[in-house]
């Protein structure tokens, strides 16, 4: 009898250990008996973290992750409304909400199966959203009222050319992510029993051949803007040059006018002085004029004058009083 006690105790210990299972924090457990999930009514029985018991040999415990998980999807190619390809890299944050539905939908609670099914749903919705929009709407987010820069010269708030162009774009990137999130969340909850917490597009790229054409177009647009600015600069330079030439011509004309007026006034004063002098002593005035004429006529040694000696020109040389000696 005593020999049977130890084997019985060992057997009971084994049975006890096979009947006990532990669910750790951040996990949930479900029990499968004969291939069917144990339920409380219509809902699968969920075991929270802690120590629990099950029927040995007949029950099998499946531990499922209850924390938020990240599905980092592979880059995929999508076609826009312009029939152009874009390569989008995205990720999804999700967690199990209905463990019973999740277990049955994934064929035993496989996270790889769940992510494959969830990725298919996300891709289908995202493909539909991308196909109804243009590239510029996909890559642009919503704009606010701060897309203006101050003009340093006028101290006024003016909109830059880049901002003016950007304001014409109806950025819908955030709207796309919101639509994908809501559509996928409803579908995933119904079919997979998972709750989609968040969806984000990490990166939006273009195929190499499209990128090259876009770079060329951007380069051409920038060159066009540069040519426009250069032509505007040349136009302003010509205006400034013309204004400067006009100011120079105006100043020179005013100076010439002033000089002419001054010379005229001086000539008038000189003429008045000569007239007054002549009226006081005409003979003396005539004498001075003759001396001036002699000085200018005989200034150069090479000068030769052929005149009659009795000419009026020599009247003061022959007689200091200017009278003829004949």
Could you tell me the two tokens for 308?
Answer: 């009659």
| DSSP H/E element including 198 | strand 194-205
Confidence bin at 146 (pLDDT 50/70/90): very low
Instruction: Please say if the pLDDT value at position 168 is more than 60.
Output: no
Arithmetic mean of pLDDT over the chain: 80
Q: Residue 181 pLDDT more than 90?
A: yes
pLDDT range class, residue 308, cuts 50, 70, 90: low
Distance CA 29, CA 66 (A): 9
The Cα–Cα gap between 196 and 71 comes to 10
CA distance 270 to 289: 14
Note whether 31 and 61 are within 8 A (CB).
yes
Two tokens at 110?
A: 């496989």
For residues 154 and 37, what is the distance between their CA atoms, to the nearest angstrom? 76
- Percent above pLDDT 70 for the chain: 79
Task: Please give the pLDDT value at position 310.
Answer: 63
pTM (2 d.p.): 0.55
Give the pair of three-digit tokens for residue 274. Answer: 């000569």
Query: Is the CA virtual torsion 71, 72, 75, 79 positive or negative?
Result: positive
Neighbouring-strand partners of residue 89? 203
Which of the residue ranges 3-17, 149-163, 191-205 would you say has the lowest mean pLDDT? 149-163
Q: CA-based diameter of the chain, in Å?
A: 197
- Tell me the pLDDT band of 157, cut-offs 50, 70 and 90: very low
Query: For residues 130, 133, 139 and 145, what is the CA-based torsion angle, rounded to 10 degrees?
Result: -140
| Phi, psi for residue 261 in degrees, rounded to 5 | -65, -40
- Give the Å distances, CA to CA, from 285 to 80, 101, 207, 311: 107, 136, 105, 19
Regarding predicted confidence, which is higher, 229 or 288?
Answer: 229
Integer Cα distance of 58 and 178 in angstroms: 46
Tens of pLDDT, residues 97-113? 888 888 888 888 888 99
Least reliable range by pLDDT among 85-94, 144-153, 256-265? 144-153
Structure tokens at 1: 């009898």
- Helix, strand, coil percentages, rounded to 5, for the chain: 55, 20, 25
Q: Are 147 and 159 in contact (CB under 8 A)?
A: yes
Q: What pLDDT digit, counting tens, does each position of 253-277 carry?
A: 999 999 999 999 999 998 888 788 7
Residue 163 has pLDDT above 50, yes or no: no
pLDDT range class, residue 75, cuts 50, 70, 90: confident
152-156 mean pLDDT: 37
**Burial (CB count <10 Å: 0-12, 13-18, 19+), residue 319:** exposed
List the chain domain ranges: 1-65, 68-153+168-206, 222-280, 281-326
The gap from C-alpha 282 to its chain's centroid, in whole angstroms, comes to 92
Q: Dihedral through CA 100, CA 104, CA 110, CA 113, nearest 10?
A: -130
Task: Output the pLDDT for position 33.
Answer: 83
| Sequence-distant (≥ 6) Cβ neighbours of residue 19 within 8 angstroms | 53, 54, 55, 56
Report DSSP letters for 105-172, one per residue: HTTTT-HHHHHHHHHHHHHHHHHHHHHTS-HHHHH-----TT--EE-TTT--EE--HHHHHHHTS---
Q: What is the DSSP letter of 73?
A: P
Q: How many whole angstroms from its chain centre is CA 210?
A: 21
State residue 303's pLDDT score. 64
User: Which tens digits make up the pLDDT trace of 116-140?
Assistant: 999 999 999 999 999 998 888 888 7
> Which one is the CATH code of 68-153+168-206: 3.40.1190.20, 3.40.50.300, 1.20.1250.20, 3.30.479.30?
3.30.479.30
């Amino acid at each position: 009898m005593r020999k049977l006690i130890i084997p019985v105790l060992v057997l009971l210990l084994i049975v006890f250990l096979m009947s006990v299972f532990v669910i750790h924090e951040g996990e949930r457990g479900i029990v499968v008996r004969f291939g069917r999930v144990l339920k409380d009514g219509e809902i699968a029985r969920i075991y929270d973290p802690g120590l629990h018991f099950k029927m040995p040999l007949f029950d099998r415990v499946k531990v499922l992750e209850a924390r938020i998980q990240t599905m980092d999807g592979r880059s995929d190619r999508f076609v826009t409304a312009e029939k152009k390809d874009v390569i989008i890299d995205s990720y999804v944050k999700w967690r199990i909400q209905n463990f019973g539905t999740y277990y049955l939908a994934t064929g035993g609670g496989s996270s790889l199966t769940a992510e494959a099914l969830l990725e298919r749903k996300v891709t289908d919705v995202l493909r539909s959203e991308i196909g109804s929009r243009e590239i510029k709407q996909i890559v642009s987010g919503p704009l606010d009222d701060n897309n203006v820069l101050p003009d340093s010269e006028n101290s006024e708030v003016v909109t830059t050319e880049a901002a003016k162009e950007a304001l014409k774009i109806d950025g819908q990137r955030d709207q796309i992510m919101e639509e994908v999130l809501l559509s996928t969340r409803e579908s995933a909850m119904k079919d997979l029993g998972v709750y989609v917490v968040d969806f984000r597009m990490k990166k939006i790229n273009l195929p190499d051949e499209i990128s090259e054409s876009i770079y060329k177009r951007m380069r051409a647009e920038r060159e066009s803007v540069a040519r426009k600015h250069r032509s505007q600069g040349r136009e302003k330079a010509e205006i400034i040059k013309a204004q400067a030439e006009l100011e120079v011509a105006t100043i020179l004309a005013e100076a010439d006018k002033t000089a002419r007026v001054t010379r005229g006034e001086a000539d008038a004063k000189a003429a008045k002085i000569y007239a007054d002098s002549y009226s006081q002593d005409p003979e003396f005035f005539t004498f001075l004029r003759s001396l001036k004429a002699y000085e200018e006529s005989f200034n150069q040694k090479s000068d030769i004058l052929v005149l009659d000696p009795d000419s009026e020109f020599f009247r003061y040389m022959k007689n200091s009083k200017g009278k003829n000696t004949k």
